[in-house]
């Protein structure tokens, strides 16, 4: 394959919205859009791709700086009740040790890993805004710009989601010292949002949304003010009902569970992404699914933090939409996220194939593509005209895929091995991964190692 961005491709096998198709012609515009898709295309004048082709998977929930913490919190120490809340204390220590150039270096390394795993877009839930003591940088958007610069370095599409964070608990409990870098008034937050949005207007690889952190961190008046001030097409992401402790605290504060309260007090619709939503009643599931909101699921992080199992069977039965995220990045592998989504339900039910019905992993992957694209607010997640040219070419020589019928190809990818099957990755018409390696892997990794060494020296 040439190093130049090809304009006319031929995929021997490609996953289109209607399923697998053979000999698919994919025509690209010069500015990174898919211009036309032609199943059964003739090979003349086309560059033949050397493996099955998937649409790139959007990663709908990321805290990039937490990549530097992965693996460092896997011992209980002296706390016999080690849980999310004790993990969070360690995370705050890392957050308060980071300098701007380190935020960028860590994010760039993470985005390289995402691309090599087959993610082609990321929704960055970004709550690190200010200096360690809470004073804003001269540029209010300093750390947002660092994360966006990292996405540009890596070549991944990004939906940047600056986070509104104002309180330390339900009912406006004052924030702690460890949260000072996150805090903004509603006015200052909207200024940050508008600044970032204006700077990157017109860049097809960058979208900007908002992320009210959670009901415990955003008082009701502020939630209403900020949501009411933005355009009705802006993506809105919020942590909700992740932990049983959060549910109990919300009931004590309001008399309602978190999802119940949100649905009663906010205009939840298709632009919302309910991140985690792990603990819902049957009534909440039906009402939340009916809004069209996306459930933002992060199974490996939810397992790592002991959150619990998302009620996926009931959610899908209610025709709920979902997407996948790697969240704290203890794993950066979309196929593993799907595997654990299914395995979690098997462990609860002590039965097999809970979500993988006749369509198997194919249907789950297609659903994650659609949900992730909608939560990202960008035209991605499928191989079709007028979408971004975000393509993943699998290793056609992989033993995992050998002689697997195309209808079961995604089953093999998700459930039949851990070897990375991703060979080439294109984002917006440009190849970012070749033969399994990001084109700038070594330089970005070198900066990451230097940054992590410096940060850990300060912890």
Task: Quote the CA–CA distance of 110 and 6 in Å, as a whole number.
Answer: 26
Both tokens of 209, joined, read 């949304």
Choose the catalytic residue: 237, 276, 362, 424: 276
On whether the CB atoms of residues 369 and 55 are closer than 8 A, the answer is yes
Q: Does residue 327 have an active-site annotation? A: yes
Q: Is 432 exposed, middle or buried (0-12, 13-18, 19+ CB in 10 A)?
A: buried
3-state secondary structure the chain: CCCCCCCEEEEEEEEECCEEEEEEEEEECCCCEEEEEECCCCCCCCEECCCCEEECEEEEEECHHHHHHCCCCCCCCCCCCCCHHHHHHHHHHHHCCCCHHHHHHHHHHHHHHHHHHCEEEEEEEECCCCCCCCCCCCCCCHHHHHHHHHHHHHCCEEEEEEEECCCCECCCECCCHHHHHHCCCHHHHHHHHHHHHHHCCCCCCEEECEEECCCCCCCHHHHHHHHHHCCCCCCEEEEECCCHHHHHHHHHHHCCCHHHHHHHHCCCCCCEEEEECCCCCHHHHHHHHHCCCEEEECHHHHHHCCCCCCCHHHHHHCCCEEEECCECCCCCCHHHHHHHHHHHHHHHHCCCCCCCCCCHHHHHHHHHHHHHHHHHCCCCCCCCCCCECCEEEECCCCHHHCCCCHHHHHHHHHHCCCCCCEEEEEECCEEEEECCEECCHHHHHHHHHHHHHHHHHHC
Measure CA 364 to chain center.
16
Output the CA–CA distances (angstroms, integers) from residue 186 to 12, 90, 159, 234, 347, in the order listed.
51, 27, 21, 17, 43
Output the CA–CA distances (angstroms, integers) from residue 190 to 248, 285, 439, 451, in the order listed.
31, 31, 36, 31
Output the CA–CA distances (angstroms, integers) from residue 17 to 35, 52, 361, in the order listed.
16, 15, 14
Choose the catalytic residue: 27, 307, 327, 390: 327
Active site residues: 276, 327
């Amino acid at each position: 394959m040439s190093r130049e961005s090809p304009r006319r491709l031929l995929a021997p096998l490609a996953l289109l919205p209607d399923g697998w198709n053979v000999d698919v012609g994919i025509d690209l515009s010069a500015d990174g859009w898919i211009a036309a898709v032609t199943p059964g295309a003739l090979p003349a004048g086309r560059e033949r791709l050397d493996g099955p082709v998937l649409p790139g998977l959007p990663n709908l929930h990321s805290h990039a700086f937490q990549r530097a913490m992965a693996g460092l919190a896997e011992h209980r120490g002296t706390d016999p009740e080690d849980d999310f809340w004790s993990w969070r204390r360690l995370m705050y220590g890392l957050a308060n040790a980071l300098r701007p150039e380190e935020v960028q270096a860590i994010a760039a390394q993470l985005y390289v890993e995402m691309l090599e795993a087959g993610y082609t877009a990321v929704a960055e839930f970004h709550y690190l805004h200010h200096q360690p003591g809470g004073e804003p940088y001269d540029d209010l958007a300093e750390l947002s710009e660092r994360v966006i610069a990292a996405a540009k370095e890596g070549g991944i599409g990004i939906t940047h989601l600056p986070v509104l964070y104002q309180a330390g608990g339900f009912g406006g409990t004052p924030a702690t010292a460890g949260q000072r870098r996150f805090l903004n008034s509603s006015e200052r937050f909207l200024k940050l949002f508008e600044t970032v949005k204006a700077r990157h207007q017109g860049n097809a690889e960058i979208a900007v949304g908002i992320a009210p952190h959670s009901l415990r961190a955003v008082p009701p008046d502020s939630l209403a003010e900020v949501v009411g001030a933005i355009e009705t097409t802006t993506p809105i992401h919020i942590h909700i009902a992740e932990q049983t402790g959060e549910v109990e605290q919300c009931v004590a504060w309001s008399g309602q569970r978190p999802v119940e309260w949100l649905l009663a007090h906010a205009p939840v619709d298709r632009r919302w992404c309910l991140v985690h939503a792990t603990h819902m009643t049957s009534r909440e599931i039906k009402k939340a699914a009916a809004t069209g909101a996306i459930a933002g699921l992060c199974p490996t992080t939810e397992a790592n933090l002991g959150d619990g199992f998302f009620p996926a069977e009931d959610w899908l039965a209610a025709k709920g939409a979902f997407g996948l995220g790697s969240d704290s990045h203890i794993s950066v592998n979309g196929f593993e996220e799907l595997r654990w989504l299914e395995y979690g339900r098997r462990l609860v039910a002590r039965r097999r194939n809970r979500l993988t019905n006749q369509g198997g992993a194919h249907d789950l992957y297609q659903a994650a593509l659609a949900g992730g694209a909608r939560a990202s607010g960008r035209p991605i997640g499928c191989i079709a005209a007028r979408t971004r040219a975000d393509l993943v070419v699998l290793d056609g020589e992989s033993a995992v895929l050998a002689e697997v019928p195309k209808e079961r190809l995604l089953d093999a990818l998700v459930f039949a091995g851990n070897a990375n099957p991703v060979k080439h990755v294109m984002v917006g018409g440009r190849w970012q991964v070749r033969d399994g390696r990001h084109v700038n892997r070594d330089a970005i990794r070198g900066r990451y190692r230097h940054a992590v060494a410096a940060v850990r020296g300060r912890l």
